[in-house]
Each structure stands twice: as C-alpha cells, then as structure tokens.
Chain A
C-alpha cells in the first residue's frame, strides 16, 4: 500500500439479536481505486456499507473514512462522502432538476457552483432531455445515472454505491460503469457493492463476503489466478495446420474437434506474442480467448473457504 487507506474498517461486527450479519470484517481501500464488494443477497453487503457511511452502528469495530472516525462523528463524514442507495432516491412529484436543487441546497452549494457543475454533469450523463421530467416518469437507466449524478454533485472524495446497477439493462450498465471509471480516473474512491460478478472486471480490487465473513480480498487478476483455470484459448484451424500450432503453443496444448485448445493461468507477454505469430501465420484461423467466469471463481473461493456453494 503506497498511500494511507481512505476507507479503513477493523474487526467490524454487527449482531441483530442472535443473528450475526457481519462477522469480524476488516478491509482497507486505497484512495482513487474502485473497490468491489461482492456477495449474494443476504450476505451482509448492505449492512456493511450502511455501517461504513454511519447509518448503522456496529456492535464491534472501528471505521475510518477519509480520516474521520465514523462511529464517533457520523455527521462529519457526510460532507466527505456521496451515497447512492439501492432504491434510487429521487423524490416523486419533483422534476429531476428540482431534485438536483434539493440535494445541492442540503450540501450547501451556491447557485453558481450548482449551475456550473450540473451543466457539465447533465451533458456527461445524458440527462439533459430528462431534466424537467418528473422522477416517477423516468426510465430505469436514466434514474440510475441521475442517482449517480446526485451523489457526486458536491464532489465528494469517496463514493459509496449500493447495488447501483440492479434492475438496469445490460447496455445501461455498461454506460454506467464507464461513468464510474471516469470518476475513479479523476481521483475519487469508489466503494461499490454488487451481486453481478462480471462487474469485477471494471474494478481495481475485489472482496467477497459470504455469511457476514470476508472470504476473499485481492485484485481480480490475482483471484482468477488463484481460483480458476485461468484463461482458455481456443484456436480453430484445419487439421493440416494443427500440428504446427500445437508445437508453437507448447505444453498443455490439446487437439480438439475444431482445432486446438490451451489453458493458461495468465495471459503473459510471451503467450500473447505466440498468439500474434499464430494469427500472422494462419490468417484464416480464429482465436478465442475466454476467461473463467467470475461465478466459477466465486464458487471456487467459497468451496475452498469451507462454505458450501
């Protein structure tokens, strides 16, 4: 870790009566990264995020966000963070513009600052046409983007997003993640919970939670390496060329009905240049590279941590 973590949770535990929702969770998030917090429904994701932003008091543990002790000063932390909840928080009966003015007013933005920032956000997020529509008339994709825009309106250093892409079509999801990555590029730390495992590809760091416990906490690549068969390379070539390709690719390569198959833990530079040579040599050949779906990774992780998947 080069910088001090901007989100720090130590031994976080939350009990509701007999039920333990979060069990001895410790994480550290580096500034400017996109941190994915993955888990199935009921795994303790939402409970954790609500504790991190000061909405819920943990039973045990310490939380620090941007240098502020969240448990002692929940109110102070609100100036530093932006939050987008599971149910997007637009007020019905108000237009999008009026919702923006509302949250701007609560965050103490002057009207000049507001028009400046909103003008820019509006463009970037494609919300211009919807600006004067009433919140209940907006389609899901626009509502999600609007929620994000509202969360970053006051330019917080840390963003907490709780399942921001639930209920949104695939294309909108993609657009949404582009916007998140833009924020991250601009230096904002993004803490995201989701149960779409494929979205980890957009993230710098991943942690899995299951039954309230942390069962994995690393970069997506590392997890893939450790818990999956890595990459799968399928090359479709006619039988005559197969022998040579087999040779080029080296050990672990097998012949299949349509061509050649190799499983590789990583796509390192050497393998990539080999594939380049194959492609150059056999222009008619088609090369498919597939990764282990994160779902498989997750199941592996679960299996290995002793939890039945």
Chain B
C-alpha cells in the first residue's frame, strides 16, 4: 500500500466534503439536533401529567391523597365537579388519566366493616394512549401504594390491637441502581448515539458514493494505480474522522445541555463509537454499490435503516419483542453497539465486561469491510 496514494485520496475527500456548505451543516447539526430532540423532548418518565380528579368524598383524607399525588410534580391534579365532566375531559384529551375517589372514602377507612371491601379508588386511563397509560400506570401505582403505606402506617399504629389477625400485603422497599430518580434522559441519549451513527452515517455515505458512480469519477479511480484498500480507506478515514468528531460533540452537548455524562470512560466510548462508525460507513458503501441513482440509494438506506434502528433497542426494549424478532435484532450491528453504549453510559462498565459484544462488533466490521472491498474491486 502506498501512503502517498492514500494521502492523496484522503486529501481529495476532505476538500470535496468541506467545500460543500450543505454537507458540512448536515454533518454537524443533524446529530446534535437528534440528540437534543430525543434527550430533551422525550423524557419517558412521567412529569406534570394532567390528572383528572373527581372527588366524591371531599374529606381530609381524600384531600390528603390528592395533595400527595401532586407533591412530587409527577401529576397535575385537575378537579372536576362531576364525573361526566371528567370523563368528557378524558376523551377530549384534556387530561390523560383520571381518578374517582368514592364518596365513602374516609369513613370506610376509619371505621372498616369486616368482610366488606375497603374503599376503591377508581383509576381511569385513556387506553388509546397505551404508551402514556403504561408509563402513568407504573408511577401511579407506585405513588398510590406509597400513600397507602403512609396512611396505613399512621393508622395501623392505632388499629393494631383490634385487627392483628387479618393482614395482607407485603411492603416493598424499592431502590433503583444507576438512575435513582428514574430519569428518562440517559436512556434516550445513549440510544441516540446508535440512531445517529447508524442512520445518518449510512445515508450520507450511500448518497455521496452513488454520486461518484453516476458522474463517472469512481470508474476513473478504478483505472488509476490506487488499490481497492486505498480507495476504501481514503473514503472511510476522513468521513470516519468527521463522525468521530460528531460523537465527541454529542458527548459534550449531552453533558453540558442535558446533564447526561457517561458513567464509565468517555474515552473508551469514543473509541468504540469510532469503530462502529467504520462499520456504518462500510454499509453505506455497499448500499451505494448496488444503487443506480441518488433516489435509489436513499430509499435503500432508509428501508434498511428503519428496522435496524427500531429493532436495535434504541427506544423499544428488545426483550419485549417476540422471540423470532429478537433473533433478527441480534443480526444488526447497531443492536450490539447500543448495548455497549448503554453499558458504558448508564452502568459505567468497562472493556472487561463488554468484551463479548466488542468481539461481535469486530467480526461484523471485518465481514462488512471485506464485502465493501469486493464491491470496489468488482469487475463482474
């Protein structure tokens, strides 16, 4: 391999890319925009969720319950005078969940009748917003259970003598490791790296190389003394450097603006990400080799990237998917990269514990680059 030729190829790549203001803008702003969108916008936790309240009891106990729900800021209770008004609000989407406190709430709790059911707080969700409902459900359960315990503990002290025999329910002390406040941002931010480096990288690479094939410069290149390896590296190293820079920028922006810093080694993360970039670049190259026009390259990239991203665990956990789909997900390099990212960012793991995934990525990388080389050398 000739270093001079490689340098010549890389120099041209750099000049051509950076002289195009559009490309430069896209390369820098899109990853950051994606990061901010996903990290900032999509908190998967529940915050300030409008909760409709129909309090049929209006006693101290019911008011206490409402106050507790509002206390942490998770819910924003909105009271309605009638049940119908509240249901209407639910259908309209003014509130996303609603609770109905029964009229005998306090009384039933204070003077329980044995054999009779305790007061039921009815919770209504808009099942049409299943994701929302699911999230809210989790938090609501937890909150109400906590309120229950507090109230129960307060009163159990006075009731212990009378009702020592019949007792149900186990108290659960819960603690979350790695993310005690259950903040949704780190999860989404770490996933965004995978998204950007899979989708954007493949798209840009495929389009730029297709352009070269169409204009004929690629063919001309094949007739020069440059070898396939040199051509491959000459394309991938400069582009890879740009995307690696993107990764650094994203890590910084995520930290400074969103407050999400990697729990583990940032340097290790950047190194792994750079390697993953090369894998995506190779993919982009392969797509461009099989496309005859820009439109085709884009369609193929998008068509391929959509399942890759959705199934990679970036937003939707792979564990929740049916078994066959989970096997398919394992075939995508993005899946493994995102696993590694989460391990580093969220759990602070290091190379020693993620080496199986790294090895897998390395194998993918070698295979894809060999394939990409073949497409460059192709003399069908």
* A positions within 8 Å CB-CB of B: 53-57, 74-75, 78-79, 81, 83, 85-94, 98, 101-103, 105-108
Contacts of B217 in A (CB 8 A): 89-91
* B positions within 8 Å CB-CB of A: 2, 4-5, 7-9, 11-12, 15-17, 19-20, 215-217, 219-227, 379-380
Contacts of B216 in A (CB 8 A): 85-89
Q: A55-B222, A75-B227, A89-B220 are in contact. Are A108 and B2 (CB under 8 A)?
A: yes
Contacts of B219 in A (CB 8 A): 55, 85, 89
Whether the Cβ atoms of A85 and B2 lie closer than 8 Å is: no
Given A75-B225, A85-B219, A93-B15, 12 extra CB contacts under 8 A? A57-B379, A78-B224, A85-B216, A86-B216, A89-B216, A94-B19, A103-B224, A106-B9, A106-B221, A106-B224, A107-B224, A108-B225
Q: A57-B379, A105-B7 are in contact. Are A92 and B225 (CB under 8 A)?
A: no
Q: What are 6 residue pairs bridging A and B, where the CB atoms are less than 8 Å apart in the complex? A: A55-B379, A75-B227, A89-B217, A89-B219, A89-B221, A90-B217
- Quick one: which of A56, A102, A107 contacts B12, CB cutoff 8 A? A102
The CA-CA distance from A81 to B11 in the complex, in Å, is 24
Closest-by-CB residue of B relative to A58 is B379
Whether the Cβ atoms of B225 and A78 lie closer than 8 Å is: yes
Q: How far in angstroms is the closest Cβ of chain B from A211?
A: 21
- Quick one: which of B17, B20, B215, B379 contacts A74, CB cutoff 8 A? B379
- Quick one: which of A53, A92, A94, A108 contacts B223, CB cutoff 8 A? A53
Contacts of A85 in B (CB 8 A): 216, 219-220
Whether the Cβ atoms of B15 and A94 lie closer than 8 Å is: yes
Whether the Cβ atoms of B225 and A79 lie closer than 8 Å is: yes
Whether the Cβ atoms of A93 and B225 lie closer than 8 Å is: no
Contacts of B224 in A (CB 8 A): 78, 103, 106-107
Q: A86-B216, A87-B216, A89-B217 are in contact. Are A106 and B379 (CB under 8 A)?
A: no
Contacts of B4 in A (CB 8 A): 105, 108
Contacts of B8 in A (CB 8 A): 101-102, 105-106
Contacts of A101 in B (CB 8 A): 8
Whether the Cβ atoms of A107 and B225 lie closer than 8 Å is: yes
Contacts of B215 in A (CB 8 A): 87, 89, 92
The CA-CA distance from A57 to B217 in the complex, in Å, is 20
Closest-by-CB residue of B relative to A14 is B380
Q: How far in angstroms is the closest Cβ of chain B from A78?
A: 5
Q: How far in angstroms is the closest Cβ of chain B from A279?
A: 50
Q: How far in angstroms is the closest Cβ of chain A from B156?
A: 77
Q: How far in angstroms is the closest Cβ of chain B from A16?
A: 8
The CA-CA distance from A30 to B217 in the complex, in Å, is 29
The CA-CA distance from A121 to B224 in the complex, in Å, is 20
The CA-CA distance from A11 to B9 in the complex, in Å, is 37
The CA-CA distance from A86 to B220 in the complex, in Å, is 10
Contacts of A102 in B (CB 8 A): 8, 11-12
Contacts of A106 in B (CB 8 A): 5, 8-9, 221, 224-226
The CA-CA distance from A81 to B4 in the complex, in Å, is 20
Whether the Cβ atoms of B220 and A83 lie closer than 8 Å is: yes
The CA-CA distance from A94 to B215 in the complex, in Å, is 14
